[in-house]
Chains A and B, each alone.
Chain A
Amino acid sequence: MITEVATKQKVKDYILKETLADVDHISDDTLIFETGLLDSMGLLFLIEFLKEEFGITVEDHELVVENFQSIENIVAFIDKKL
C-alpha cells in the first residue's frame, strides 16, 4: 500500500516538474493557486495526473479549495479517495 510520504513526494515532484519552480519555494502548505503556481489549466492537468497516477476521478462537487489548495490538502484528498 502506498504510504502518505510516498504520495506527498509524488504530488510534490509533479508540481515541481509542471511549474519549473524552485524546490525551496514550495512547502507542504504553500497555497498553490493563491501564489500563482497553478492556474485553471494547471488544476485541470493536476486532475489528470491524479487519475493517471492514483486512479482517482474528481467529481464536480469535489472541486473545492479545501481539496486542492496545497500539497497537504491534495494528499489528504487522495487519501480520502483511495
Chain B
Amino acid sequence: MKSTVQKKAFSKDILHLENIEEVCENIMKKLRTDVAQKLQRRGGVVGISGGIDSSVVLALTSKALGPEKVLGVMLPERDSSDESRLFAEKLAAKFGVKTLVEDITGALDGFDCYGRRDEAIGNVIPDFDPKRDKSKIEIKQNIGQNIPAIFSITVIKPDGEVISKLLPAKEYLQIVAASNFKQRSRMSMLYYHAERLHYAVIGTPNKHEVEQGFFVKYGDGGADVMPIGHLFKTQVYQIARYMGVPEEIISRTPTTDTYTAEQTQEDFFYQLPFEVMDLIWYGWENGYPAEEVAPVMDKTAEEIENIYKSFDRKKKTTEYLRMKPIF
C-alpha cells in the first residue's frame, strides 16, 4: 500500500520545535532510562566548555537526573580562552551543579601535543614563532565549488600580519593528530571522574558534529550517551533559551577553542552559517529537490546541488569516525 503521508513544504520554519516542552521532556525521560537502566549508573559527568552544546547538555542532565547526581568538569589547557571558564562556572551555578576544574596542560605537555603541532606548522611557515604568534587551521574554499575541502594554516603575527598557506598532507595530518590529544585527554579525565563516582559520561556532540564527523574518535566522540546527538544546531539554541541557559553563552559565536588564534566552527569546518546549514542539511537528508530548497534559501539550484554533494562527501569520508571496531 502506498503511503499517503505528504512531506511538508520546505520552509525556513521547518526545523522549529513547536512542542519544545514535550521535546525536552522526552529527551530527559530517555536520559533517565539510559543512565539508570541501560547503563546502570548513578549519575552523569558532563565536560563543560562554556559553549552552547555542553551548556544545553548540562541543563538537560541536571533537570533529568537532579543536580546532585551531576558533575560538571571544566577541562581547560594552555590555549583555552579564559572566557570559556567564566561562562562554564556561571552555567553550573545557574543549574546548581557541582563543578571541578582539571587543567590538562600538563598531560598535553607529557604527550608533546604542543611541540608536535608547532613543529608541523613551522615546516610550512618557517617564520612561525609559537611563543608569540597565534595559529589556526581553516578551510578557505567556498562550499559551492564542488571539490573536497582542503585545509590551510594561518599564522597571525603580533603586529597583525597574517600568513596563510595550503597545508601539505604530512603537516595537516600531524597538526590534527597532535591537536586530537586535547579531546582524548579530556575524555580520559571525564572517564576518571565517571568511574570513581559510578556515573556515566554524558556526551555533548549535536547532530552535525555526529553526522559530518566534526568530533575526535575516542575523544569528544567517546561518551556513554549523547542526548543532543539528533538535534540540529538551531534546535539546540531553541532548547538553550527554553531551559534558561545564560544569554552570554547563547550569544557567543561557536568556536573550537582548540587553536591559539580565534577560530569559528564555520571557518574551521562547516563553511556555512548554522541557520543556513541546518536547513539545507534537512533538505538533503529528507530528499527535498534542490529546486524547492533554492528559492527558500536565496540560492540557485546549482548551488544547493553542490552543497548537497559536499554533505554527501563529508558523511562518506567521516564514516570511519562513527564505525565501531570491526571484528
Contacts and interface: CB of A to CB of B under 8 A. Distances in A.
A39 B313 contact: yes
29 contacts: A33-B147, A33-B148, A33-B313, A34-B309, A36-B313, A36-B316, A39-B313, A39-B317, A40-B148, A40-B149, A40-B150, A40-B317, A41-B317, A44-B168, A44-B169, A47-B168, A48-B168, A48-B170, A59-B166, A60-B152, A60-B166, A63-B141, A63-B145, A63-B150, A63-B166, A65-B145, A65-B146, A68-B147, A69-B147
Nearest to A51: B168
Contacts of A48: 168-170
Counting contact residues on chain A (CB < 8 A from B), the size range is 20 to 34
Contacts of B317: 39-41
B140 interface: yes
Interface string A22-51: 000000000001101011111111011001
Counting contact residues on chain B (CB < 8 A from A), the size range is 10 to 19
B172 interface: yes
Contacts, number: 54
Contact of A45 (B167, B169, B316): B169
B310 to A, nearest CB: 10
A60 B148 contact: no
A64 interface: yes
The 5 tightest CB contacts between A and B, nearest first, are A40-B148, A39-B317, A44-B169, A65-B147, A65-B146
For A39, A42, A48, which residue has the most chain B Cβ atoms within 10 angstroms? A39
Contacts of B150: 40, 43-44, 47, 63
